[in-house]
């Protein structure tokens, strides 16, 4: 069994074998959550120049909840609503693989740097999105990456609705 660091490096390298290993290891769910929490904290730290402590806490918790929502909806779409004949997955497999797909988000801690911060956020966003697609492709045993992209896109639309609702709630609650 690979260490947490080895798995994170494999996930960041977009190594399908790493995602297969994590998918099969039922004890790796806490590791995946650790990656999401660390990535979320890095995002919060990287945003500190733009946001206050309340935004840091809100962003960190929102990232963790958002990961669960996106992974769960992606599971429902890919494994229950539109499965391929070879698809055999449970929600834990999606949580583990997609949790490790957040690894590139650790670099967002450097978002606090002047001038390059926004670029770091854009690059890590794209990297994490590609990682998420690979994680889903491996967990759902998709025959094509295109199918994994479609499943992720549907899940992402639900995630986007969640994020919009969270931002709206934050704006409404901010004066309180």
pTM of the full structure: 0.88
Contact yes or no for 93/23 (Cβ under 8 A): yes
Q: What is the pLDDT of residue 49?
A: 64
Confidence (pLDDT) at 174: 66
The pLDDT score that the predictor gives to residue 31 is: 96
pLDDT of residue 175: 67
DSSP secondary structure string, 123-140? Answer: HHHHHHHHHHHHHHHHHH
Residues of the chain short of pLDDT 70, as ranges, are 1, 49-51, 170, 173-176
**Alpha-carbon gap, residue 159 to 27, rounded angstroms:** 26
- Is residue 103 within 8 A of residue 131, CB to CB? The reply is yes
Q: What is the reported pLDDT for 169?
A: 75
Residues 100 and 18: beta-carbon distance below 8 Å: yes
């Amino acid at each position: 069994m690979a260490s947490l660091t080895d798995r994170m490096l494999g996930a960041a390298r977009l190594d399908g074998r790493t995602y297969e290993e994590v998918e099969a290891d039922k004890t790796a769910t806490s590791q995946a959550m650790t990656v999401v929490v660390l990535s979320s904290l890095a995002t919060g730290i990287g945003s500190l120049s733009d946001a206050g402590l309340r935004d840091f806490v809100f962003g960190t918790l929102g990232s963790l909840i958002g990961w669960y929502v996106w992974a769960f909806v992606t599971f429902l779409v890919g494994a229950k609503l539109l499965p391929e004949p070879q698809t055999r997955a449970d929600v834990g497999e999606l949580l583990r693989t997609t949790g490790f797909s957040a690894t590139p988000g650790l670099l967002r801690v450097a978002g606090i740097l002047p001038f390059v911060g926004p670029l770091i956020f854009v690059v890590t966003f794209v990297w994490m999105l590609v990682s998420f697609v690979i994680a889903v492709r491996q967990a759902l045993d998709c025959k094509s990456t295109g199918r994994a992209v479609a499943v992720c896109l549907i899940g992402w639309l639900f995630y986007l609705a969640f994020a919009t609702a969270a931002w709206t709630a934050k704006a409404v609650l901010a004066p309180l």
